[in-house]
Each structure stands twice: as C-alpha cells, then as structure tokens.
Amino acid sequence: MKVIKYPAKEEWSEIVERPHLDVSQLNATVQGVLDDVKNHGDEAVKRYEEKFDHAHLDSLAVTEAEIEEAEQLVSQELKDALHLAHHNIAAFHQSQKFEGKKVETCAGVTCWQKSVAIEKVGLYIPGGTAPLFSTVLMLATPAKIAGCKEIVLCTPPNKEGKVNPAILMAAKIAGVSKIFKAGGVQAIGAMAYGTESVPKVYKIFGPGNQFVMAAKQQVSLHDVAIDMPAGPSEVCLIADETANPVFAAADLLSQAEHGFDSQVFFITTSEKVLEDVKKEVEMQLEQLPRKEMAQTSLDNSKFILVKDEEEAIDLCNTYAPEHLIIATADYEQLAEKVVNAGSVFLGNYACESAGDYASGTNHTLPTHGYALAYNGVNLDSYNRKITFQHLTEEGIRNIGDAVVTMAENEQLEAHANAMRLRVKSLK
C-alpha cells in the first residue's frame, strides 16, 4: 500500500486515478465472441462454455429437478440467512415505489407520469472466484417488486455442468423466471441478442470481470440497455482518532479480497490511526484464505493522511467511491457533505459487508469514478417513466399561440400548423 501524507490539492487528480488497462485487444476478443453468439446462438454459447468453463452442456436451461436438488444441498442456516436478507432487501426497495400525480401546469393543460416496469430483464451473476448468490437477491428482488414479467438469469456452471446450489436457492427465493448455464461474454451476448434457449431481454444487470464489463458496454451501443458502466470494486474509508483500527482494517481487507484489481482508499486525520490500521491490515491479511488476491489489491491501494475532516471529505468526493465508510465521531455531519458515492456506511458498526448482504440497500453500485454521474441499482432501474398530457379547449386557448410562435421561430411549419388549426377551430 502506498502511504501519502498531506498531499497538496494539485496532486489529488493523480491520487484518485484508478489503474488503467489496455483494453484494445480485449475489446476485439469480446466483439468476436458476441458476433459468434449473435450468428450461432445456443451452439456458440455451448462451445464457449466448454472452452472457458470446461463444461460440456447438452442444454443451457436449468431444470426444476436441478433447483429441487440444490434446495437439498443448501444448509438450513444459509437458507435462513437468504430469507432474512431477501426480506430486508424487499422492504427497502418496496419503499421506493413511485406515486405519480397529475399536475395542471395551466388551466386546461394536465400532465402526469406513469411508472411502467421493463418487461424483460437479464441478470448476470458471476461464478468465478466467488459464487455471488447475494447478487441474485440484489438484482431479482427489485425486478420482482417492479413487476418485470420475465426475469432471466445467466450464470456459469462448474466443470460438471452444475450451477452453484446457493445461486439457485437465492433465485427461487427472489422469483427468477428462467435460469441458464452461461457465463462471461457469451452470457451477455445470449441475453442481448436472444438464442434458441435464452430470451432476448431489454436491459442487462450485474457485475463481472473486465470481459463481461466490455461486453455489456458493447451491446449497450445498439442492442440492449445496461444498468451502468463499471470497473473493479473499491472502498474509501474516512477515519478520525475515534475509529476502531481493528474494524477499519477488516473493512479494507473485505474490499481487497474481491479481486486482484480491487482498490482500497483510506483517508484519515490521525497519523496514529494510519499506523495502527496499517499494522492491523498486515496482521489480519495473514489469516485470509484469499491472501494473495488481497495483497495484490493492497499494492494498488492508498493510505492518505490529511490535515482535517473538511479536506478528507473533499478528497473523498473527488475520488467518488463505490463504497464509502465514515468511521468518525461526527459521521452524521460528514454524511451531509457527501455528494459523490455509491453507498455510504456510517459509524464504527456499519461495515460494508452489511450492505453487501443483508441490511437492505443494493450492492450493485457505480465504480471507477462513475459515482460522479450514476447511482446504484434501485427500484427505478427496472422501470420507465411514461409521460401523459391532456389538453382541453381552454388549454389550447392558454398555450396555443405560444406553441405556434415557438414552432414558427424554429422554422418547423408542420408543428406550427398542427396547433394553428386547433386554435382556429375555437374562434
């Protein structure tokens, strides 16, 4: 980890830079796989499953028998945890339901919005270094609450052609319609274009490695919407002298173990806390099963000492983290000043893991600085807002002349005439 003490503001832009990968070759590879899936459907998906996941598949669809088998393989303890998490996620997202109201903008002119669910959504659930069954709950639960008619899930199988049982259990709890054994770029292509087995969807959600992210961005140009652009996962932790170094180190490592390219960004106003957390990270790292991965991530990470909390929050807003933990005495006041972040965790007891699994907030969040302009997945992510308007004769009298004048000045005569005829009909 790189320690930076009292950086000048002119250095901040360089400090908040994420590692950049040369993706030119990656994009060419991704495009080739997408084209193959588009042209050859199931046959191409099965071929890539054999190549990348080493699974020989007769069928892509997960059967009811496989779901029943998975239910027997998942421990009661994990089932109970999944149900608890699902309850909290559902409660939080249920509270986000949109209630439109009619507004009379002027006499005789009424406008309103209706929220309509996206009919077909696709969820991508990685199954590589960790089977992310929690992401099934995060993506499928709001989709079901929104009223999406078809919820399609793709996830890679193991070498025996089986999907992780906990992923299938979470899918059943959350109400997924159809599940398919497909991972990586081929899964994104299958949902974007449709194959003989996999339905074409209108929007794709879910995290993944750099190949999956590149595939999502490529299909979003012409074929399907996506939840958000994203990069490797990251956390920023702001601490003062009241922070618990043991907790802080654990939080940083929980992020670092996500992947080799994850990033940890630690900001503190206390040099003692910086040193204590640094030592604690090194001690806890030794106990982790994913030590090598966490260590590589920590090599890309930064521990920054700043002069006060004002500077800490300004630097954090410049970084725009996916996850932000504020472990300070006055976390409520600092929280008011957060303008760029995906999800925020307040106080010494609000660890990122809570939001990742069971507090109720969504863990599908903007990374790589995209929190400057994007929010995380929420109920609105699964809906479209359709606007309506109704005009009476009085409405025509009130806005008709203005519409004609504006259309004439934009030199759009047909627009002007559509209103002009109505104005004349009332005279």
pLDDT tens digits along 153-192: 999 999 999 999 999 999 999 999 899 999 999 999 999 9
Residue 322 annotated in active site = yes
Flag whether 93 is marked binding.
no
325 near 25, Cβ under 8 Å?
no
The number of domains in the chain is 3
410 is in an annotated binding site: yes
Considering the domain architecture, whether residues 121 and 139 belong to the same structural domain is answered as yes
The verdict on whether residue 415 carries a ligand-binding annotation is yes
CB 207 within 8 A of CB 126: yes
User: Among 226, 244, 262, where does a domain finish?
Assistant: 226
**Structural domain boundaries enclosing 144:** 24-104+116-226
Q: Bridge-partner residues for 103, per DSSP?
A: 111
Q: Is 186 annotated as a binding residue?
A: yes
Q: Is 382 annotated as a binding residue?
A: no
Q: What are phi and psi of 191, to 5 degrees?
A: -75, -30
Same structural domain, 236 and 221: no
Give SS3 for 122.
strand
State whether 185 and 67 are in the same domain.
yes
Q: Cα–Cα distance between 184 and 213 in angstroms, integer?
A: 9
Is residue 16 in some structural domain? Answer: no
CATH number of residue 273's parent domain: 3.40.50.1980
Of 280, 309, 322, 352, which is the active-site residue? Answer: 322
Would the annotation count 233 as a binding residue? yes
In which residue are the tokens 């760029």 written?
A: 340
CA-CA distance, 327 to 163, in Å (whole number)?
A: 38
Q: Considering the domain boundaries, does residue 84 fall inside one?
A: yes
Tell whether residue 375 is among the known ligand binding residues: no
Ligand-binding site membership of 223 (annotated): no
Q: Is 39 strand, coil or helix?
A: helix
DSSP letters spanning 180-241? EE--HHHHHHHHHH--SSSPP-SEEE----HHHHHHHHHHTTTT-EES----S-EEEEEE-T
Show the low-confidence residues of the chain (pLDDT under 50).
Answer: none
- Nearest-angstrom CA–CA distance, 233 and 294: 12
Contact 15, 236 (CB under 8 A): no
Residue 411 marked ligand-binding: no
Residues 363 and 222 in one domain: no
CA distance 322 to 234: 6
What one-character-per-residue DSSP string does 247-303 give? HHHHHHHHHHTT-TT-EEEEEES-HHHHHHHHHHHHHHHTT-TTHHHHHHHHHT-EE
Where residue 368 falls (left for φ over 0; alpha for ψ -120 to 50; beta otherwise) is: left
**Contacts of 413-416 spanning 24+ positions with Cβ under 8 A:** none
Of the residues 323, 352, 363, 368, only one is catalytic, namely: 323
In a domain, 412, yes or no: yes
CB 164 within 8 A of CB 126: no
Query: Within this chain, do residues 220 and 247 fall inside the same structural domain, yes or no?
Result: no
Are 402 and 361 members of one domain?
A: no
Residue 384 lies in a domain: no
9 lies in a domain? no
Same-domain check for residues 199 and 123: yes
Query: Does 335 share its domain with 204?
Result: no
- Same domain (yes/no): 218, 306: no
| 198 within a domain of the structure (yes/no) | yes
Residue 173 CA to residue 210 CA, distance in Å, equals: 29
Examine residue 184 and state whether it is found in any structural domain, yes or no: yes
Active site residue 93: no
Contact criterion met (CB below 8 Å) for 255 and 343: no
Q: Per-residue pLDDT tens for 119-144?
A: 999 999 998 667 899 999 999 999 99
- Does residue 182 share a domain with residue 42? yes
> How many Cα atoms are found within 13 Å in the side-chain-facing hemisphere of 328?
24
Q: What is the pLDDT of residue 262?
A: 82
* Domain-embedded: residue 293: yes
Report yes or no: 364 and 205 within 8 Å, Cβ to Cβ.
Answer: yes
Instruction: Give whole-number Cα distances, 59 to 46, 123, 214, 413, in Å.
Output: 8, 19, 26, 58
Residue 198 and residue 11 in contact, taking contact as beta carbons nearer than 8 Å: no
Determine contact, residues 263/18, Cβ cutoff 8 Å.
Answer: yes
Identify the domain boundary among 166, 198, 226. Answer: 226
235 and 222 in one domain? no
Task: Tell whether 134 and 28 lie within a shared domain.
Answer: yes
The DSSP output letter for 61 is: B
Q: Which of 174, 197, 226 corresponds to the end of one domain?
A: 226
